[in-house]
Structure 1
Amino acid sequence: MAGVIEEVLNIFATALDWDGEHKLLHARRTALLSALLAEEICPDMTEELLRAGLLHDIGAIGLTDHIIHLFGERNNPRVFAHPWRGGVMLSLMELTKEAEIVRYHHEAFDGTGYPLGLKGDEIPLGSRIVGLADYVDICLYQNPKITKARLEDQFRDNPQFDPKLVDALFPLLTPDIWGILHDSEAITEELRRFWLKERGLKDKADELDQLDLVVEVLAQIIDCRHTYTAGHSYRVSFYSVGVGEALNLNQEELRKLRQASLLHDIGKLAVPKKLLDKPGKLTAFEWRIVKQHPVLSRELLAMAPFFADIAPIAGAHHERLDGSGYPDGLKGEEIPYLARIISITDAFDALTSNRPYTKNLTVEAAIKVLQKSEGHFDKEILIASVPVLASLGNEIWRYDTA
Structure 2
Amino acid sequence: MEPGQQSVHLSDVVSALSFALDITEGQPAGHSLRCCWLGMHLGRRIDLSAAELSDLYYTLLLKDIGCSSNAARICRLYLADDLSFKNAYKMVDTKLPEVLRFLVSHTARNSGMIERLQAMIHVARNGGEIARELIETRCQRGAEIARTMRLSESVASGILDLDEHWDGSGQPLGRAGEEISLFARIALLVQVADVFFRRGGTEGAVAELRSRAGRWFDPKLVAAVEGLATEPHIWAALEEEGLQDKVMALEPRSLVRAVDEDYLDDIAAGFARVVDAKSPFTAGHSERVALFSDLIADELGYAPERRRWLRRAALLHDIGKLGVSNAILDKNGRPEPDEWAAIKRHPELGRTILSKTVALENTAAIAGDHHERLDGRGYPRGLAGLEIDLDTRIVSTADVFDALTADRPYRAAMPASEALALMEKDVGTALDPECFAALQRGLVRMQDVAA
TM-score if structure 1 supplies the norm length?
0.88
**Partner Cα distance (1:111, 1:137) in 2:** 23
**Partner Cα distance (1:332, 1:199) in 2:** 47
**Partner Cα distance (1:169, 1:225) in 2:** 34
Change (3 A) 1:22 1:29: closer
| Counterpart AA for 1:282 | P
Q: CA deviation at 1:156?
A: 3.7
Aligned length: 390
**Partner Cα distance (2:407, 2:448) in 1:** 16
Change (3 A) 1:180 1:203: closer
Identify the residue that residue 48 of structure 1 maps to in structure 2. Answer: 55
Q: Report the 3-state secondary structure (helix = DSSP H, G, I; strand = E; otherwise coil) of the residue aligned with 1:354.
A: coil
| Counterpart AA for 1:106 | D
**Partner Cα distance (1:220, 1:350) in 2:** 17
Match of 1:6 among 6, 11, 32: 11
Match status 1:358 vs 2:411: yes
Is the deviation greater in 50-59 or in 327-336?
Answer: 50-59
Decide whether the 8 Å contact of 1:3 with 1:199 is kept in 2: no
Identify the residue that residue 34 of structure 1 maps to in structure 2. Answer: 39
Q: What is the CA deviation profile of residues 205-240 of structure 1, one whole-angstrom value per residue up to 9, with x for unaligned ones?
A: 5x5432211211211221111001111110110011
Q: CA deviation at 1:78?
A: 4.5
**Partner Cα distance (2:141, 2:232) in 1:** 36
Identify the residue that residue 329 of structure 1 maps to in structure 2. Answer: 382
Q: What is the CA deviation profile of residues 24-71 of structure 1, one whole-angstrom value per residue up to 9, with x for unaligned ones?
A: 443222222211111222032222212111221222214242434234
TM-score if structure 2 supplies the norm length?
0.79
Q: What is the CA deviation profile of residues 298-318 of structure 1, one whole-angstrom value per residue up to 9, with x for unaligned ones?
A: 111111112121111221111
Matches within 5 A, 1:140-179: 140-141=197-198, 144-148=199-203, 150-156=204-210, 158-160=213-215, 161-173=217-229, 174-179=231-236
Identify the residue that residue 382 of structure 1 maps to in structure 2. Answer: 436
Identify the residue that residue 113 of structure 1 maps to in structure 2. Answer: 170
Matches within 5 A, 1:3-402: 4-18=9-23, 23-41=28-46, 42-44=48-50, 45-61=52-68, 62-63=70-71, 64=75, 65-66=82-83, 67-71=86-90, 72=94, 75=128, 76-81=131-136, 82-95=138-151, 96-141=153-198, 144-148=199-203, 150-156=204-210, 158-160=213-215, 161-173=217-229, 174-183=231-240, 185-195=241-251, 198-200=252-254, 202=256, 204=258, 207-375=260-428, 376-392=430-446
Change (3 A) 1:374 1:34: same
Q: What is the CA deviation profile of residues 91-135 of structure 1, one whole-angstrom value per residue up to 9, with x for unaligned ones?
A: 232322211111112222222222222222222222222122122
Q: Report the 3-state secondary structure (helix = DSSP H, G, I; strand = E; otherwise coil) of the residue aligned with 1:171.
A: helix
Q: CA deviation at 1:358?
A: 2.2
Q: Report the 3-state secondary structure (helix = DSSP H, G, I; strand = E; otherwise coil) of the residue aligned with 1:260.
A: helix
Decide whether the 8 Å contact of 2:21 with 2:67 is kept in 1: no
**Partner Cα distance (1:151, 1:379) in 2:** 57
Q: CA deviation at 1:201?
A: 6.5
CA RMSD, aligned part only?
A: 2.6
Q: CA deviation at 1:252?
A: 2.9
Structure 1: give runs of 5+ residues left out of the alignment.
Answer: none
Q: CA deviation at 1:13?
A: 2.1
**Partner Cα distance (2:135, 2:8) in 1:** 32
Is the deviation greater in 113-122 or in 226-235?
Answer: 113-122
Q: CA deviation at 1:89?
A: 2.5
Decide whether the 8 Å contact of 2:34 with 2:194 is kept in 1: yes
Q: Report the 3-state secondary structure (helix = DSSP H, G, I; strand = E; otherwise coil) of the residue aligned with 1:264.
A: coil
Q: CA deviation at 1:294?
A: 1.1
| Counterpart AA for 1:129 | I
